[in-house]
């Protein structure tokens, strides 16, 4: 069930920060309740689940893919996806460009940076992200636009650790804003913070938070 009161409370805390309501595993009626309350940005982590839900919600919903994406699955989301938060290779970016071209659109993307200590989480290191941004092959990708960065902090009670990781990502974001400019590079969005750590993320400069369990209950 959509937690209307939690939603109202979070809106108060957000200011100009965009809220992505993470609806993964939740049934369509929960998304409809959220939509009726005013939510327009929904985050899903699986291609198949997002494609199943998309036709059931109004056309003005902005669909955010926040989970790992395989190149061969880009075609399913290319017609409608609003922002892909989880780009972690040039190969994936090339696949997104190709599919975007087929639909005569530009697909907005974020580079996912690995900032957590856990090895299991996907994403580029800072060095790998720099290499990607300096790769001349990027200039050929006319139908993608890199809009910013995404990161997930370590799952820990240690708030100083989380703060340190978000702060490092925010610093790298500013570095990218200053140093990487091109027709398809437009660093505006810093997607960081989830139910457990969004306040820290906002304090450290997030422009987007991805919140699931506070809005829809635990999974
Ligand atoms: C599930 C998920 C979230 C939301 O997690 P909550 O703790 O439920 O807020 C945010 N980002 C990503 C990438 C996720 O997979």
137-185 pLDDT, tens digit per residue, is 999 999 999 999 999 999 999 999 999 999 999 999 999 999 999 999 9
d(CA 93, CA 133): 11
Tell me the residue length of the chain: 219
Which pLDDT score is estimated for 129? 98
Distance 214 CA to ligand 1 centre (A): 10
- Beta carbons of 114 and 124 less than 8 angstroms apart: yes
pLDDT of 122 reads: 86
Q: What is the overall mean pLDDT for the chain? A: 97
CA of 134 to the centre of ligand 1 (A): 30
Q: What is the mean pLDDT of residues 101-123?
A: 93
DSSP state of 209: E
Q: Is the pLDDT at 186 greater than 80, yes or no?
A: yes
Q: What atom of ligand 1 comes closest to residue 86's alpha carbon?
A: 13
Q: Which letter, b or e, does each residue of 105-124 get, where b requires 16 or more Cβ atoms within 10 Å of its Cβ?
A: ebbbbbbbbbbbeeeebebb
The count of domains in the chain is 1
- CA 209 to centroid of ligand 1, rounded, Å: 9
The residues that bridge with 111 in the sheet, in sequence order, are 87, 149
Beta strand spans in 106-203 (E) = 107-113, 144-151, 185-192
pLDDT number for residue 119: 81
Token code pair at residue 49: 């689940």
How far apart, in whole angstroms, are the C-alpha atoms of residue 106 and residue 100? 6
**Percent above pLDDT 70 for the chain:** 99
In angstroms, the CA 217 to CA 79 distance is: 30
DSSP labels, 13-60: HHTT-EEEEE-TT--HHHHHHHHHHT--EEEES-HHHHHHHGGGS-TT
Atom number, ligand 1, closest to the C-alpha of residue 198: 9
- Tokens 């790998």 found at: 128
Which range of residues forms the domain containing residue 100? 4-216
Determine the atom of ligand 1 nearest the C-alpha atom of 66: 13
Query: Separation of 48 CA from ligand 1 center, angstroms?
Result: 17
Q: Note the pLDDT tens digit of each residue in 38-82.
A: 999 999 999 999 999 999 999 999 999 999 999 999 999 999 999
Q: Residue 120: is its pLDDT beyond 80?
A: no
CA of 44 from ligand 1 middle (Å) equals: 9
Looking at residue 171, which CATH number applies to its domain?
3.20.20.10
Kindly report the pTM of this predicted structure: 0.98
Residue 20 has pLDDT above 90, yes or no: yes
Ligand 1 center to residue 212 CA distance, Å?
6
Residues having CB closer than 6 A to ligand 1 are 22, 24, 45, 66-67, 152, 194-196, 210-213
Give strand pairing partners of 211.
21
Q: Residue 210 CA: which ligand 1 atom is closest?
A: 10
- Of 20, 24, 66, 191, the residue with max ligand 1 atoms within 8 A of its CB, to mutate for a pocket test, comes to 66
Q: Could you tell me the pLDDT band of residue 198, with boundaries at 50, 70 and 90?
A: very high
- Testing ligand 1's pocket by substitution, the residue of 20, 23, 24, 43 carrying the most ligand atoms inside 8 A of its CB is 43
Q: How confident is the model at residue 121 (pLDDT cuts 50, 70, 90)?
A: low
The rounded Cα 179 to chain-centroid distance in angstroms is 22
Would the pLDDT of 205 be above 80?
yes
């Amino acid at each position: 069930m959509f937690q209307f009161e939690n939603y109202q409370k979070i809106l108060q805390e957000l200011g100009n920060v965009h809220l992505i309501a993470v609806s993964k595993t939740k049934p369509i009626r929960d998304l409809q309740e959220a939509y009726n309350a005013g939510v327009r940005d929904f985050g899903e982590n699986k291609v198949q689940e997002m494609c199943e839900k998309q036709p059931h919600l109004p056309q003005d919903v902005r669909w955010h893919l926040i989970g790992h994406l395989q190149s061969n699955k880009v075609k399913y989301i290319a017609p409608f996806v609003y922002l892909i938060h989880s780009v972690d290779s040039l190969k994936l970016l090339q696949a997104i460009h190709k599919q975007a071209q087929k639909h005569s659109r530009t697909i907005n993307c974020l580079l996912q940076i690995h900032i957590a200590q856990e090895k299991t989480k996907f994403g580029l290191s800072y060095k790998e992200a720099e290499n990607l941004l300096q790769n001349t092959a990027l200039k050929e990708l006319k139908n993608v636009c890199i809009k910013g960065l995404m990161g997930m902090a370590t799952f820990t009670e240690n708030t100083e650790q989380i703060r340190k990781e978000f702060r490092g990502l925010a610093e790298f974001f500013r570095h990218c804003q200053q140093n990487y400019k091109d027709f398809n590079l437009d660093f505006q969005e810093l997607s960081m913070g989830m139910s457990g750590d969004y306040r820290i993320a906002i304090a450290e400069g997030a422009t987007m938070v991805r919140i699931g369990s506070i809005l829809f209950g635990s999974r």
